[in-house]
Every structure is written in C-alpha cells, then in structure tokens.
Structure 1
Amino acid sequence: MPEPRVAIAYDCLFPVNAGGGERVYRRMAELFAERGCSVDYVTRGQWAAGGAPTATFTIAPVWSGDIYDRNGTRTSASAVAFAFALFRHFRRHRRDYELVVVSALPVLNVFAVRLALLGSGHYIVVDWLEVWGWRKWRDYSGPLVGSVAAALQWFGLRLGQLHTVNSRFTRDRVRRYRAAADPIVLGLVDLVGEVPEAATDRSVDPYVLFVGRHVADKRLHLLPDALAEARRSIPDLRAVVVGTGPATEVVRARAAELGVEKAITFAGRVDDELLDGLFARALVLVNPSAREGFGLVVAEAAAHATPSVVVEGEDNAAAGLVVDGVNGFVATTIHPVVLGAAIVRAIRAGAELRASTRSWFLREREGHGLASSVDAILERYRSARAR
C-alpha cells in the first residue's frame, strides 16, 4: 500500500508561533514526510508574500488574521473564520488527501473538516491538545460561549476514525466523555530535539526560570510572591522570565510592590541558543500554569538536568510529568508560602535532584517518542484501509 497523502490542519505554525502545539504539529508533518508521505500543512498565513518558513512539507495558508484578544484569549470570531476557511479548502481538495490530522483547538476545526469530507472515505485523525470540563470552558469563554464550546467538544469526541492526545492525563479526559475511545498518546519528550550536554553543578548566580507566554492561564503573576517567599530562605535568589504577553506589566508592577523588581530579569523572547544556556544554568524551572495539555517546557528543562516546580490542578497535565523528588516537586496550591517552599526544596535538593532529573528525561525520551506515534497512526490507517 503506498504511503497516504496527508494534511495537517492547525491555525499556528512553528517557528512563527512558539507554543507546544505548534512544535507537535510541525514535527508530525516532518515525520510523515520522512516516511514518504506528501504532506500539506493547512494553516493561517502570518507572513508577507514569499516569506513563508522553509519546510520539508507544503505550507498551505488558507486564512489570515489575529486569533487572540489583547488578554491572550482565543476569540470566537477567529475560530469561526478559520473553520470556514478549512471547510472551503478541504471541500475544494477532497481528492488530494487520504489521511487528515485536524487539531481540535479550536473544536470547530473538527466539524469543518468532517463536513467538507463527508462521504469521501478519508481517514480523519482528531488531535486533542486538551479536553476541558464545562466549568473551565465557562471560565475561559463566558457562560454562553463556554456552554456552546463544551457541547461542541462532546460532539467532536464522536467524530473521526482515530483520536490522539498529548498526555495520559488528556487520554483519561477523553475516555471520561467517550468510554469506547482508544486514543493514541503521542510521545512528545523527543520534541526537545538533540539531547544537549548537561552538568549537575550550577554557577554562583542562583536563579529560577520561567518560560512561556505571559497570559492568564500561565499564572506568571504568582512568581513575584513565590520568589519573595523563597528569598526568605535564599536571600540572593532571583528569577529570569522568558516570553512576552499581556500579563508582563502586571507582573512588573507586582514585583515593584513586593520590592523584588531588581531580582527579576525580563528577558523577552530569546533565540534557541540563549534559551538553552538559561535552562542549563537555572536552579529550577518554575511553571505555575493552571492549564497545560502536556508541559513540554518541563521536558526541555529536564534535558538540561534542571528540575521543575509545577502546581497541582485539574487542567494541568504538566503536573503529571513531575514526580516529587525525581525531577522536581508539585506544589499542592498556588499560595505563595506553598509555592515558595517547593522552590526552596527543589533548590536545596541540589546536584542529586538534578542528576535524577536528567536520568528521568533520558528514560522518557527512549520510551516515548513522536516518531513511534506517527508510525502507530499510519498502522491504524493501513489497518482501517485493509478491512
């Protein structure tokens, strides 16, 4: 059986957009191409004519526009617009693909692709970066839009021949809403790329590191309070904050209120080389996020033997990546005393915890790779076609 013609549908593209989902879908496209598939990445145009990123697959922009409001929340209008663009593209190209991977973020993508390909016999893979409960949808989008989104998610979980997820955490969520589902858990630890050299000793410049978008769900605003608390035990401790977003100035203001503004460096967006150096020298990664579909930044830190402190939460899959005393610690609440104590505990565990963190990463990378996940998707496709 020849390799299928593949389309991947998502409204963001790495490295133009730098989130975890963007890395997942780009790497999937590369892996399908490496296996001899022709691949179209159907996405949002964010560049001038002739300025598309280079890739081993075809980039097919179908719509251009902003998808976030000024608070970093996805807008309903952009979700509808992109879904309609997907519908038109796949309706026009019904004969061009056999296997379609569509991101369920936002979930309207799933309905658009399914409707466009209705009756065509395509094998549709629906990837769930996250699955939320109704309360989370309500908090994120408001009572009306949130309720509609929760209902669409329920129906979306009943579409497609195969579901994939980014974590065992999300797999369990899928099964909660559809008990018969048998999703493939994508192996994502190898998205870190080449395994870097890593040392377990650290410099005399003690700092904790935050990496991520400065939006509400990442809860960067908790860092100044937690840092102030940790500095009661480690007075020269400081923080380096990577990334940008609407919450940046709020965090600056809170740091000034607490008198720790000189202890926090806002680095903005940085290139890969500088980021690797920051990971390699940090004492601990602090990721207080309320919502993560996987938590790739935990794996990126662990590759450099840097443990993580995360916060327990019903929508935070990153907490499932951290094993207390093995590759970091999970704070039970966001209270500054609790979060600050977890930071201090991770730092005082020293080289022993860093060595354990590195070992955890190497084990996970060996056993949970995206390449094997793509092979599993192709095997399910071939099995379905052989029936």
Structure 2
Amino acid sequence: MRIAVVNWRDPWHPQAGGAETFAWELSRRFARAGHDVRYVTARAPGRRRSEVVEGVRFARMGGTFTVYPLVLAWLLARRGRFDAVLDCQNGIPFFTPWVVRRRTRVVCVVHHVHDRQFGMHLPGWLAAFGRFLEGPVSRWSYRRRASVAVSPSTERAMRERLGWRGPVHVVPNGVNVATVADVGKSQVPRIVCVGRLVAHKRVHLLLDALPELRERFPGLVVDVVGTGPLEAELRARLPEGAVLHGYLPEEEKARVVARAWLHVSASQGEGWGLSVLEAAALGVPTVAYDVDGLCDAVRHGETGWLLAEGTDLAKGIAGALDELDHPYSVKCREWAGCFSWDRTAAGVTAVLRGEDPGPGAFPTLTDVAEGDAGSER
C-alpha cells in the first residue's frame, strides 16, 4: 500500500512522546513490509524538510498550529497518491477525510481523549475550541471511517465523552526496552517516574509526597526521567532525595528504571502508558491512579497498584513498598511480554486494509497465565 502517516511530531522532535513512538514504530514496520510510507509532520528547528530514514520518507512542515493547514494542503495536492492514511490524533486529528478521495482509507488513531486536559494547557476560549474540534467536528468528520484506540478505556471515552459512532478497533501499543546488563536493585528504596514534564502528568504530586515517604523509608530516592515545559519549575522546587535527570539515552534510562523498586505515574490520564510497560519489562511494578489508559496498562494486584483518584499518593506508595515481597517482578515481565510492536503493526495494517484485527488484539490476564505471546516482544 501507499500509506501516509500523519502525526503532529516526529520521533526526534524535542517534545516527542508516546504518540511519536507509536507512529514511528508502525511506520518503520510498514516500510519493512514493503509499503510506500510517507511520515507527514511538523518541522522542528534544525530538522530537514525531507529525508529518508529506514525506508520511511519524511515530509516536515509548519509548527504547533500551522502544521494542520499545511498538511491538509500537502495531502490535497497529492489526493490521488495514497491508498491509506493513518491520521493520528493528538488532542485533535488532522481531518484528512476532508482532502483525500472517498476511496482512500482513512484510519484515525486516538491515544486518549483530551477534553479534560485542554484547560490545563490552553486559555479558556482556546480550550473550548479544542473540545469542539475533538468532539462534534471529529465525530462528524470520521463518522464513516474506522478508528483505532490504543486501549479499552480510550474506546470507552471515545464513545461516552466524544459520542463517537463509527467502528473503533482496540490495538494496543508495543513495548521497547534497551538491553542492559543486570544492574541489580538499589540498596535503598528507589522510585522512578518516567515521562514528559507537562501539567497533566502531575509529577509535582510525587515530589510533594517525598518528604513524608522519607520519614517512613529513610534514604528513599526519587528519580524523575524526562523533559518538558515544566522542567525548570520542577527543578527549582526539588525536595531532598529527588533527582531530576532530564533526557536520558535509552540504555541509561533502562538502567535507572531497572534499579528502582517502584515506578510511579501520577498522571491525570493516558492513552495507554508506555512507561508502565517499559518498567514492567524490566521487572518493575507501577503505582498509578485508576484513570484512563493506566487502568488498562496496570493489572491491579498483579503488576502494580491502582489508586482511586484523590487518594493520598504517599500512603499509596508506602502501601506498595510494604507489599514488595510478592513476586511482582515475574508477573510484570510476563505481562510486558504480551505486547510487541510487530503485533501492533499487524493489527493496524489489518484496519488499513479494511479488515478487522480480531478480538485477540488486546491481551488479557489469560494470555499471561498461558504464556501467550511471551516471546513476541
């Protein structure tokens, strides 16, 4: 097929996150399978307008907001060239059905519903406009098109909060972790938090919990890995025992995660939570709030703990640290082994062809118990 992968950023963008990992891991596998792939995205400072990486041809244009009209114009000028478009929604989609031919298959990928997060990042009037585009305009634009949600809770949010009516297929993310030598667990209690430093990740909740945790667990250390617009603000208020690493190369990040006792996500909501599965692949369980995405990535009582929204985070983490004699590490690795980017690409390829990826696209605890897909990752 001739496929256009349309995503807000590319994987080398300074603000790249899980959505970019998803788009890139699929793009490179599409190309490897022999498809003609164009990755159409914004142009970060210092990046080329076009280049070819691993058989994927990149076309970069525009910035945070101008990328949307420029990409639509680019596709309109090539409206007969593509068999399929993977339209990745990052708050709002690109509305590519407006400019391609009706016979071109357009699949909208929704990582998570942003309606409750617009207000944390944008002025009131712009947040309201974002919710209008994400809801009624998107619902109408993609009403005859198939969509992909990366988790069951994302599909539920699409139906209940956005009123999505078209077919939605659940195809989860894969997981990549750098291979590192066994670094062993830290001798002192160590917690790691991995993710972009943005408002809805709520890293400040973990930092606020640290003094209380250190009273209960002397010497406890929190490692925060990631960059983002709140980095300077968080760095200025780091409590004793917290280390803000910023960006780390994959191998170094894996070493930091592997030596931790716990991974913590205080996020308000995710599409899935790549960092949760990356930690699980290294045998590290996660404490998270019971919110969209994270409620699917964490298997409560098996690979971590889910806290009711509003629960005191320090108490939740302390309870988890007290329970670590349970064989969570084994369960974590088994659960992470159920996911692979090859499996994700196969599911999305099926949808791009107009096929159903099948009911087994999302693993269950039965898969863990039976060892299904254990070697796929």
- With over 3 angstroms needed to count, the CA separation of the structure-2 counterparts of 1:368 and 1:186, relative to structure 1, is farther
1:98 aligns with 2:83: yes
- With over 3 angstroms needed to count, the CA separation of the structure-2 counterparts of 1:139 and 1:206, relative to structure 1, is closer
> Is the Cα contact below 8 Å between 2:98 and 2:141 reproduced in 1?
no
Output one character per residue of 1:25-60: Cα deviation in whole Å (capped at 9) or x when no partner: 011112222222100001112234489573321111
Aligned residue runs from structure 1 range 1-387, under 5 A: 4-17=1-14, 18-46=16-44, 47-49=46-48, 54-63=53-62, 65=63, 67=64, 78=65, 81-107=66-92, 109-110=94-95, 113-117=96-100, 119-133=101-115, 135-153=116-134, 154-160=136-142, 161-176=145-160, 177-178=162-163, 180-188=165-173, 190-192=174-176, 202-255=185-238, 260-261=239-240, 263-313=241-291, 316-334=292-310, 338-351=312-325, 352-362=327-337, 364-365=338-339, 369-380=343-354
Q: Letter of the 2:244 partner, please give it.
A: F
Quote how far apart the aligned CAs of 1:179 are: 5.9
In the aligned structure 2, how far is the partner of 1:148 from the partner of 1:167?
Answer: 26
Q: Letter of the 1:206 partner, please give it.
A: P
In the aligned structure 2, how far is the partner of 1:382 from the partner of 1:330?
Answer: 31
Output one character per residue of 1:90-130: Cα deviation in whole Å (capped at 9) or x when no partner: 111112111011112242511xx22222x452111111122
- With over 3 angstroms needed to count, the CA separation of the structure-2 counterparts of 1:311 and 1:100, relative to structure 1, is same
- With over 3 angstroms needed to count, the CA separation of the structure-2 counterparts of 1:367 and 1:254, relative to structure 1, is closer
Q: Letter of the 1:373 partner, please give it.
A: G
> Is the Cα contact below 8 Å between 2:197 and 2:229 reproduced in 1?
yes
| SS at 2:351 equivalent | helix
In the aligned structure 2, how far is the partner of 1:151 from the partner of 1:244?
Answer: 29
> In the alignment, which residue of structure 1 is the partner of 2:368?
none
TM-score (norm 1): 0.82
> Is the Cα contact below 8 Å between 1:169 and 1:317 reproduced in 2?
yes
Query: 4+ runs of 1 displaced by more than 6 Å?
Result: 194-199
In the aligned structure 2, how far is the partner of 1:197 from the partner of 1:228?
Answer: 32
> Is the Cα contact below 8 Å between 1:191 and 1:370 reproduced in 2?
no
- With over 3 angstroms needed to count, the CA separation of the structure-2 counterparts of 1:317 and 1:231, relative to structure 1, is same
> Is the Cα contact below 8 Å between 1:157 and 1:174 reproduced in 2?
no
> In the alignment, which residue of structure 2 is the partner of 1:71?
none
- Higher helix proportion (structure 1 or 2): 1
> Is the Cα contact below 8 Å between 1:8 and 1:42 reproduced in 2?
yes
Quote how far apart the aligned CAs of 1:15 are: 3.4
> In the alignment, which residue of structure 1 is the partner of 2:363?
none
| SS at 1:107 equivalent | coil
In the aligned structure 2, how far is the partner of 1:125 from the partner of 1:193?
Answer: 28
Identity of aligned residues (%): 24
In structure 2, runs of 5+ residues without a counterpart are 358-377
Output one character per residue of 1:170-207: Cα deviation in whole Å (capped at 9) or x when no partner: 1111222446432111221x2325777779x6231431
Quote how far apart the aligned CAs of 1:359 are: 2.4
Quote how far apart the aligned CAs of 1:368 are: 9.4
In the aligned structure 2, how far is the partner of 1:311 from the partner of 1:334?
Answer: 8
In structure 1, runs of 5+ residues without a counterpart are 68-77
- With over 3 angstroms needed to count, the CA separation of the structure-2 counterparts of 1:333 and 1:171, relative to structure 1, is closer
| SS at 2:55 equivalent | coil
Q: Letter of the 1:287 partner, please give it.
A: S
